[in-house]
Amino acid sequence: MTEKFLWFEGIPFPSVDYSPELLREVQESFLIKDEDVLLLTFPKSGVILKEEQREKRREEEKKNDTGRPSFGTNWLIETVCLIYSKGDPKWVQSEPIWDRSPWVETKHGYELLKEKEGPRLISSHLPIQLFPKSFFKSKAKVIYLVRNPRDVFVSGYFFWKSAKFVKRPQSLEQYFEWFIQGNVPFGSWFDHIRGWMSMRDKENFLVLSYEEMKWDTRSTVEKICQFLGKKLEPEELNSVLKNNSFQVMKENNMSNFSLLKGQYLEENGLLLRKGVTGDWKNYFTVAQAEIFDKLFQEKMADLPQELFAWE
Ligand code: PPS
């Protein structure tokens, strides 16, 4: 394992399963088909939260303080797989998550996807400028998931420091510097979001958030079903909700990254760490919170602020 980054077009990538040649080939030659479904995120991410949704959330929290699950890339993949299997968990329990919805930018995923027949689920952390060019002429549906970047930062710190295929942060302070400079895997969170948000008004583009999913999982799954044109019976929907929960997914070896321990991850490496929103408050200093707020204002001021209503 090489604990460093692979730099491509000014962006740091993991050093294992990625190469400059492949990243270029994916961008120039990979063919996205109209029937594909693309699940896109900045790593460790989790929408658009309107006032009525916030109100609903407050009511929900009053009723139910049970720590319902919150959304990350892999939660989205698991959820879509369960929607495709109508809530039957056999598929998610028998095939690794990275084979069910392969990462197009990895060697493993790229090879698998080239061979896959029919409508494909495709995952990616690529920023928009490196995404396969064929997508921009296709009708493929995209679900783009966002999460409070402060929580993305904390989640990323704990994950990457246990990973054997990236330059590992030595401290939270160091990772904070890297994060605000965009020197973390897949680059700047701000640039990633700004790039992909330019697509937000297209009808084949659905923006969701980790926060929305946590506060109203059922409605969010229903929204995904509607977007994908999938109809679930009530008991099928209940089974999706049961099997995509934090606890069930944490115990599913096909989804919890335990298969990566040893070669790629330290024994203490966890994909499903806490699964909550607002954990950043346990880690940011007052000074860091101020620096982050200022940077957020500078970088995102021209985007509609209701896109980022996660507090
Ligand atoms: S990756 O490796 O970048 O693709 O990671 P990603 O899946 O985007 O993000 C990992 C965070 O998502 C949380 N997660 C979940 N939360 C709730 N429920 C479920 N089912 C779930 N699956 C993944 C995971 O716990 C990570 O967040 P933190 O804050 O670290 O717990």
pLDDT for the residue 111: 97
pLDDT for the residue 45: 79
Distance of CA 58 from the midpoint of ligand 1 (Å): 23
Distance of CA 103 from the midpoint of ligand 1 (Å): 16
pLDDT for the residue 1: 67
pLDDT tens digits in sequence order for the chain, 311 residues long: 678 999 999 999 999 999 999 999 999 999 999 999 999 999 987 433 334 444 544 454 444 333 322 348 999 999 999 999 999 999 999 999 999 999 999 999 999 999 998 899 999 999 999 999 999 999 999 999 999 999 999 999 999 999 999 999 999 999 999 999 999 999 999 999 999 999 999 999 999 999 999 999 999 999 999 999 999 999 999 999 999 999 999 999 999 999 999 999 999 999 999 999 999 999 999 999 999 999 999 999 999 888 887 86
Sign of CA dihedral 17, 20, 21, 23: positive
Closest atom of ligand 1 to 123 CA is 4
Pocket, ligand 1, Cβ cutoff 6 A: 41, 43-45, 69-70, 72-75, 151, 155, 244, 246, 249, 271-275, 279
Closest atom of ligand 1 to 159 CA is 30
CATH fold of the domain at 6-308:
Rossmann fold (3.40.50)
Predicted TM-score (pTM) of this structure: 0.91
Q: What angle do CA 170, 172, 174 make, to 5 degrees?
A: 60
Pick the residue whose CA is nearest to atom 14 on ligand 1.
72
Closest atom of ligand 1 to 249 CA is 20
Distance of CA 69 from the midpoint of ligand 1 (Å): 9
Distance of CA 74 from the midpoint of ligand 1 (Å): 6
Closest atom of ligand 1 to 245 CA is 20
Q: Active-site residue numbers?
A: 125
d(CA 254, CA 98): 9
Side chain identity, residue 105: E
Pick the residue whose CA is nearest to atom 20 on ligand 1.
246
Looking at the chain, the number of H-run helices and the number of E-run strands are 14, 6
Pick the residue whose CA is nearest to atom 9 on ligand 1.
44
Q: Which of 39, 154, 155, 166 to mutate to test the pocket of ligand 1 (most atoms within 8 A of CB)?
A: 155
Pick the residue whose CA is nearest to atom 27 on ligand 1.
275
Distance of CA 285 from the midpoint of ligand 1 (Å): 23
Distance of CA 182 from the midpoint of ligand 1 (Å): 20
Pick the residue whose CA is nearest to atom 22 on ligand 1.
75
Q: Which of 96, 79, 68, 114 is nearest to 230 (CA)?
A: 79
Tell me if residue 265 falls in helix, strand or coil. Answer: strand
Strands annotated E in the chain: 5-8, 11-14, 37-41, 121-124, 141-146, 205-209
pLDDT for the residue 213: 93
Distance of CA 170 from the midpoint of ligand 1 (Å): 21
Q: Which of 260, 22, 51, 62 is nearest to 162 (CA)?
A: 260
Tell me if residue 37 falls in helix, strand or coil. Answer: strand
The total number of residues shown for the chain amounts to 311
Closest atom of ligand 1 to 257 CA is 2
